[in-house]
């Protein structure tokens, strides 16, 4: 197809504008591409001189930093298992059983989950956790996130299961399978992509969260990496930039990897619903 000259100019202008916006978005992040590999990194943008991986070695030698990553992992995995299992069962029931009032349940859940945000409910969450004697434990963070993420996870998954024909389970039952066999042999494998999506979504949410662990945890040995990074740069006076840059990059890697995994597996658009 041949373009007219104004259309051609217009297209170049569009591309230039898109590229410019992309560059502006990139600016605050550029520093992260270089500083972790710079032996003398400072807050300014500079090409590493010399290039080094020593910063990463330092991070892995710092027991507090490693412990914090491990804590993040425990909390995220614990939360993901709870959310994944509970949401799968609940969404399946909401989609496939004819329990009376399930529409109302879904509506109320959605309403509450959007009303009770972490920053509005921090006081009662703190009080409940301390009343339960769970203050300063991984379990407190895991349970709080599981409760908070479940309504959305259930909703995403219920929609997914609704879109799967019931004839899968029906044909299994006609063929002689019990409801339990039909669930494990047929339904569960078929809805697995949906489960993967909510698992990734929950993991990214818990891994990256700051406020809830900040409030519910006290001791250094329980802090996740998010709180650790915050205290590194906010409280330590002059932050040790080299360590912090490398550490932040390591901490971001799982999120980046999961994002790439999801966009490779489900296509780019699926990620639109993945963060709330």
Partner 1 sequence: MASVEFKNVTKSFGEFRAVSDVSFDIGDGEFVCLLGPSGCGKTTSLRMMAGLETPTAGQIFIGGDEVTHLHPKDRNIAMVFQDYALYPHMNLADNIAYPLKVRGEPVAQRHGRAKEVADVLKIGHLMDRLPSQISGGQQQRTSLARALVYPAKVYLFDEPLSNLDAKLRLEARGFLNHLQRDMGMTAVYVTHDQAEAMALATRIAVMDQGHIVQFASPIEIYRRPSTTFVANFVGNPPMNLVEVEGAQIDGKLALKAEGLTIDGLAMTDAIGKALATSGKLTLGVRPEHLGIAEVGAINTITAPLFANENMGPESLVTVDRGDSARVTARIFTDDHLDLSKVVTLSFSHEHVHLFDSAGMRIPALGE
Partner 2 sequence: MTTEPIEAKPKKVRNFALLSNRAGAAFLTPAGLLVSVFVIVPFFWVIFVSFTNRTLLGRTALNPEFVGLANYLSLFDPATFFQRGQFGFSLILTTQFVLASALLGQALLGLLLAWLIQTVPPWVKRITETFVIAAWILPEVVIGFAWFAFLDRDSGTLNMLLEGFGLPPGDFLLDQPFWVIVVFNTWRGAAFSMMLFNSAFSSIPPSYFQAADVAGASSWQKFRDIGLPLIRGHIVTDLILITMWTFNTFTPFLLTNGGPSYRTELVSIYNYRVAFQDFQFGKGAAVGVIMMLINLAFALIYLSIGRKKKVR
Distance between alpha carbon 141 and the CA centroid of its chain, in Å? Answer: 14
- Closer to partner 1 at the Cβ: 59 or 161? 161
Choose which of 17, 40, 189, 218 interacts with partner 1 (CB under 8 A). 189
CB of 111 to partner 1, least distance (A): 27
Pairwise CA distance, residues 224 & 251, whole Å: 10
Interface of this chain with partner 2, residues 238 to 257, rule: CB under 8 A: 241, 244, 248, 251-252, 255-256
Pairwise CA distance, residues 225 & 246, whole Å: 13
Window contacting partner 2 (CB under 8 A); options: 55-63, 176-184, 191-199: 176-184
What are phi and psi for residue 174, nearest 5 degrees? -60, -35
Interface with partner 1: number of residues (CB under 8 A): 18
| 3-class DSSP assignment, residue 121 | coil
CB of 101 to partner 2, least distance (A): 11
| 3-class DSSP assignment, residue 144 | helix
**What are the residues facing 38 on neighbouring strands?**
51
Helix or strand holding residue 209 (H, E): none
Q: Which of partner 1, partner 2, none interacts with 185 (beta carbon under 5 to 8 A by kind)?
A: partner 1
User: Does 186 engage in binding with partner 1 (CB under 8 A)?
Assistant: yes
Pairwise CA distance, residues 252 & 254, whole Å: 6
> Which residues in 134-168 are b (16+ Cβ under 10 Å) and which e?
beebbebbbbbbbbbbbbbbbbbbbebbeeeeeeb
CB of 168 to partner 2, least distance (A): 10
Interface with partner 2: number of residues (CB under 8 A): 102
Q: Which of partner 2, partner 1, none interacts with 165 (beta carbon under 5 to 8 A by kind)?
A: partner 1
User: Does 175 engage in binding with partner 1 (CB under 8 A)?
Assistant: yes
CB of 87 to partner 2, least distance (A): 6
Pairwise CA distance, residues 108 & 119, whole Å: 20
Sign of CA dihedral 249, 250, 255, 260: positive
Binding characters for partner 2, 127-166, by CB under 8 A (x = yes): xx--------------xx-xxx-xx--x-----------x
CB of 128 to partner 2, least distance (A): 6
Q: Which of partner 2, partner 1, none interacts with 255 (beta carbon under 5 to 8 A by kind)?
A: partner 2
In this structure, what token pair is assigned to residue 130? 């301390």
Choose which of 3, 8, 9, 14 interacts with partner 2 (CB under 8 A). 14
Binding site for partner 1 (CB under 8 A): 165, 167-168, 170-178, 181, 185-186, 189-190, 192
């Amino acid at each position: 197809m041949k373009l007219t000259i104004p259309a051609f100019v217009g297209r170049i202008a569009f591309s230039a504008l898109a590229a410019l916006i992309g560059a502006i978005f990139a600016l605050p992040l550029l520093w992260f591409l270089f500083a972790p590999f710079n032996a003398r990194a400072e807050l300014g943008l500079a090409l590493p001189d010399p290039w080094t991986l020593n910063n990463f070695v330092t991070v892995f030698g710092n027991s507090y930093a490693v412990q914090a990553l491990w804590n993040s992992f425990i909390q995220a995995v614990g939360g993901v298992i709870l959310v994944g299992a509970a949401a799968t069962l609940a969404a399946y029931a909401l989609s496939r059983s004819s329990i009376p009032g399930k529409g109302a349940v879904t509506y109320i859940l959605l309403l509450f989950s959007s009303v009770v945000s972490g920053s509005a409910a921090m006081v009662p969450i703190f009080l409940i956790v301390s009343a339960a004697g769970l203050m300063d434990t991984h379990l407190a963070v895991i349970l709080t996130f599981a409760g908070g993420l479940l309504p959305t996870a259930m909703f995403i998954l219920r929609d997914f299961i609704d879109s799967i024909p019931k004839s899968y389970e029906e044909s299994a039952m006609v063929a002689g399978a019990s409801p339990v066999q039909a669930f494990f042999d047929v339904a569960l494998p078929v809805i697995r992509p949906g489960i993967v999506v909510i698992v990734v979504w929950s993991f990214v949410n818990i891994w990256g969260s700051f406020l809830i662990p900040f409030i519910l945890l006290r001791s250094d040995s329980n802090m996740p990496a998010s709180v650790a990074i915050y205290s590194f740069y906010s409280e330590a006076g002059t932050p040790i930039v080299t360590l912090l840059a490398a550490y932040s990059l390591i901490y971001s890697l799982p999120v980046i990897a999961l994002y790439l995994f999801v966009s490779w597996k489900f296509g780019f658009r699926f990620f639109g619903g993945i963060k709330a």
